[in-house]
Amino acid sequence: MKVGLIGCGAIGNVIAKAIDDGEEELVAVYDLEESRCVQLADRLRKKPEITKSFDEFISKDMNVVIEAASQQAVREYAERVLDAGKDLMVMSVGAFVDDELFERLKEVAKKNGKRIYIPSGAVVGIDALKAVSGIGIEEVVLTTRKHPESLRGAPFFEKSGISIEEITEPTLLFEGSAREAVKIFPQNVNVAAVISIAGIGFDRTKVRIIADPTIDRNIHEIKMKGEFGEIVTLAKNVKCPENPKTSYLAALSAVRTLRNLSESIIVGT
């Protein structure tokens, strides 16, 4: 399995290290900041090619390209990856809140006989959500609890006027649709996008975001209710050392998704 990687930040580093330790081959890496590519490559035994432009990157012989950069990267590069005859794994799933983009990429993937992979990310229970999605889901509620520092930089704070430094106790910052949550917390709730796509959509999926200075982990609780009964899942995730906005589990889910592509037995949906 030949892999290309867009984005050499926290998640990209975890994925690259796993590939380096496994049977896959990391062929090439690309990042707008070339120094990140250099730093990542220095940590690996098998050196990928550091490409200086996306055109150079996409010309390489790769089976699948992993996006681990940003929602903007999905908007700029996803269609070109699929048109180049490569499968695509998307980590910045919040980009798919743009319905037009999501539908267009599905059509491009179908036209080219390629696939778009969306790892389960930093939550548990996606298998269950997918299993019951066709039999009547009444409600899906995601409650995300993070330390205020993990939320720093979100557009929410500019719009609300709330200062992170003023949050001294658990505080409910947002309660509303997943569509709105993804827009105002674009780097923090990709899990809301994953849940929405797997279940009942961005408008019906409810999200609650709590800033909690008393915790040191990213906590995601999902409650599902419908004809199947009720399902509750809870994940208390260790944060990526290089980026507290990201759960370590999110990167590990990408690695597992990649491994599934070449295994003869796949457990779960």
DSSP 8-class letter at 244: E
- Which residues sit opposite 223 in a β-bridge? 141, 232
| Residue 244 confidence (pLDDT) | 72
Query: Do 105 and 190 belong to one domain?
Result: no
Instruction: State the CATH number of the domain containing residue 186.
Output: 3.30.360.10
Query: Do 40 and 74 belong to one domain?
Result: yes
Token couple for 46: 């098998």
Query: Do 131 and 109 belong to one domain?
Result: no
Query: Do 202 and 219 belong to one domain?
Result: yes
Q: Is residue 105 part of a domain?
A: yes
DSSP 8-class letter at 164: G
Q: What pairing do the DSSP bridges indicate for beta strands 229-237 and 218-226? A: antiparallel
pLDDT-derived band at 269, boundaries 50, 70, 90 = low
Instruction: State the CATH number of the domain containing residue 68.
Output: 3.40.50.720
Residue 226 parent element (H or E): strand 218-226
Q: Give tens-digit pLDDT for 175-187.
A: 999 999 999 999 8
Query: Do 52 and 106 belong to one domain?
Result: yes
Instruction: Supply the residues annotated as catalytic.
Output: 220
Query: Do 107 and 11 belong to one domain?
Result: yes
Q: What residue numbers bound the domain in which 207 lies?
A: 126-237
Query: Do 89 and 132 belong to one domain?
Result: no
Q: Is residue 139 part of a domain?
A: yes
Query: Do 72 and 174 belong to one domain?
Result: no
Query: Do 225 and 132 belong to one domain?
Result: yes
Query: Do 66 and 99 belong to one domain?
Result: yes
Whole-number mean pLDDT of the chain?
94
Q: Give tens-digit pLDDT for 134-185.
A: 888 999 999 999 999 999 999 999 989 899 999 999 999 999 999 999 999 9
Q: What predicted TM-score, i.e. pTM, was given to this entire model?
A: 0.93
Query: Do 87 and 138 belong to one domain?
Result: no
